[in-house]
Structure 1
Amino acid sequence: MGGKFCVMCGKEDVKLIGRLCPSCYVKSREMVRVPRSMSITVCRICGSRKLKGKWVAPRGDISSSLEEEIISALELDEHVQEYHVDVGQMWSDTHGNNHFPLRISGSVEGERFDETKDVMVKVESTLCDSCVKRRGKYYEAIIQLRSREGNLGLDEKRFFESFFSREDAENLSDVVELREGVDYYFINRTVAKRLVAKFASEVKVEMKESYQRERIKRGKRDAKLVISLRL
């Protein structure tokens, strides 16, 4: 044989990947690699998962989070041109370990491949930073909602809360209803200020900022922000 040929099957006049034709290449190589086992850290209260050292809000149930984690861990052979992943139903072995069966199909130079994998996933449950703070009723800012007319009505309270985004609501560590109005305790000062700015841009409201519990923390001045809103 004078020309190029596949060293495995002997085919001539075909495109080679290294020294193999596409058919022999996909038969002799692992097209997709995935860890045999992996772990995921999930908040037992809100379902957030820890990704690269940061807590990420859940976009679905725990199974969806696990599927995302597995798919992101896939390593494809450099010659794979297109692929599709089917994640099967999670099952548990006799030791309580969770397993996900995977079926990965795709092609290399028009040659189809189909591989099956099994990934064992260990779920570590803990509390995310936000839930730890929420449980301890930690807060950086208070929004005091009041009425110019005296007692705050239910309609006014509901109207203000209609401006809450999901992030705003999840950032609350406490809500205290008083005779004169409602105090909303926010874990993050920036979230509270952003909510107030959005509300004040659309509603005529008297707004006043002040600080309480001022102290020196790690050489820096630290205090709780209090934002008073009067409708």
Structure 2
Amino acid sequence: MDSTRFCVRCGRETKPEELINGLCIDCYLKHHGVFKEKPRVKVVVCPKCGSWYFKGVWHQPLDLREVIRRELLSELYRFLYSEIRVLEVDVASDIRKISAGEHGVEAVFTLEVAGKHVARIRGLVAVETEYKVCDKCMRRTTGSHKALVQVRFDPPEETGELYREVSALLHSMGLENSIVEVEERRDGMDVKFDDVIAARRYVDVLARKYGARTSESFKSVKYDFQAGKWSGVVTISVRIPVIKENDVVKYRGSIGVVKHVGDGSLKILLLETGVEVEARLSDYWSNVLRKPREVYVDSKVYTVTAVDKTTVYLLNEETGELREHPLTPGNYGLKPGDRVIILSDGEREVVVKKE
């Protein structure tokens, strides 16, 4: 009988393909072992925000056990024999003293041995913990930033609810960890980011949702010889049109009233024709859509006294003033007794039912 069918250590009969260097799996684990040296990791954690540093990058905060687990999954191979492959690691304890002058954790390793066996091994891992302030917290402390988003509203006088929406987006998008500072201004706000990608994500949403017009510039600060490029601050200018429901606007030269504002679009009732059209908020920047300051709303309220095929007859009951106005498609529904107001853009007047 072939001698390779027996474990050279305990003599147990074993299938040849299951032997590892002449040993059965039990003897291999007991007498040979899977580690060529005690596993150890160094964990670098920011004391301010809990971020952890690994392979040159700061990562989002995690539970310390999970940080250790992830580092072991990546680095444990350095402490194992070449025939061992890591399948999973479970950190089974918090950091505690494991020997004189050394702290660590207990962990359970799921390993593949020589491509033939799966074994679960419980062992100790030495852990060195270093606390170091991360780049983001350092920039927050010093006020330095990589990107500046300048949000401005047009016109700036009516920004109340819209300002709150735009500000709340910073939190609903989960960008808090990238924000260095938010400064409220009379006509908008300035948001400083320590991450250019996060700043551009925010700006993209503002453009898509609110029809914002954007422009970007870069101001170099110093040359990074190691990276071979200039470092500096990206400044993104964002202008948002302030248009709300019931606002009077001009769309392609016609006076209308905004009936609905959605993501990047709005519905406008054209008063002269009575037709409802859909427009893009971004049309504001090409003057296709305007919020004209010259539109005048007469404060007087008139009562419709009669309507014929061509004319609407109006009476101001307070002053006794009588007016006649051409009947347009937008006024076909008017009837005696309706109360109306008059809008004017300086060129023509439009009669609108008072709601």
TM over 0.5: yes
Quick one: distance in 1 between partners of 2:154 and 2:81? 67
1:102 maps to what in 2?
Answer: 107
Quick one: distance in 1 between partners of 2:121 and 2:104? 17
**Residue pairs, 1:157-196, within 5 angstroms:** 157-164=163-170, 165-166=173-174, 168-196=175-203
Amino acid at match of 1:104: F
Note if 1:230 corresponds to 2:240.
yes
Cα distance change of structure 1 residues 172 and 205 upon mapping to structure 2, 3 Å threshold: same
Please give the TM-score of this superposition, normalised by the length of structure 2.
0.53
Give the counterpart of 2:41 among 38, 55, 58: 38
Quick one: distance in 2 between partners of 1:7 and 1:200? 73
Quick one: distance in 2 between partners of 1:176 and 1:96? 49
1:128 maps to what in 2?
Answer: 134
Quick one: distance in 2 between partners of 1:155 and 1:89? 50
Quick one: distance in 2 between partners of 1:184 and 1:111? 56
3-state SS of paired residue (2:154): coil
Quick one: distance in 1 between partners of 2:231 and 2:87? 55
Amino acid at match of 1:140: K
Note if 1:64 corresponds to 2:83.
no
Amino acid at match of 2:153: S
User: In 2, are the aligned partners of 1:152 and 1:180 still within 8 Å (CA)?
Assistant: no
User: In 2, are the aligned partners of 1:3 and 1:13 still within 8 Å (CA)?
Assistant: no
Larger C-alpha radius of gyration, 1 or 2?
A: 2
Cα shift at 1:126:
1.0
3-state SS of paired residue (1:38): strand
Amino acid at match of 1:64: E
Cα shift at 1:79:
5.1
Cα distance change of structure 1 residues 23 and 200 upon mapping to structure 2, 3 Å threshold: same
User: In 2, are the aligned partners of 1:42 and 1:49 still within 8 Å (CA)?
Assistant: yes
Cα shift at 1:69:
2.1
Please give the TM-score of this superposition, normalised by the length of structure 1.
0.76
Amino acid at match of 1:62: L
Give the counterpart of 1:17 among 14, 20, 40: 20
Note if 1:92 corresponds to 2:79.
no
Quick one: distance in 2 between partners of 1:95 and 1:11? 39
Quick one: distance in 2 between partners of 1:204 and 1:3? 80
**Residue pairs, 1:143-162, within 5 angstroms:** 143-151=149-157, 153-162=159-168
Q: CA RMSD in A?
A: 3.5
Amino acid at match of 1:30: G
Quick one: distance in 1 between partners of 2:42 and 2:105? 12
CA displacement, residues 124-149 of structure 1 (integer Å, 9 cap, x when unaligned): 11111122112111123322223223
Quick one: distance in 2 between partners of 1:180 and 1:201? 21
3-state SS of paired residue (2:214): strand
User: In 2, are the aligned partners of 1:40 and 1:124 still within 8 Å (CA)?
Assistant: yes
Q: Which moved more, 1:29-38 or 1:124-133?
A: 29-38
Quick one: distance in 2 between partners of 1:189 and 1:112? 45
3-state SS of paired residue (2:10): coil
In the alignment, structure 1 segments of 5+ residues that lack a partner are none
Quick one: distance in 2 between partners of 1:41 and 1:24? 38
Cα distance change of structure 1 residues 139 and 9 upon mapping to structure 2, 3 Å threshold: closer
In the alignment, structure 2 segments of 5+ residues that lack a partner are 224-228, 242-355
Cα shift at 1:162:
4.5
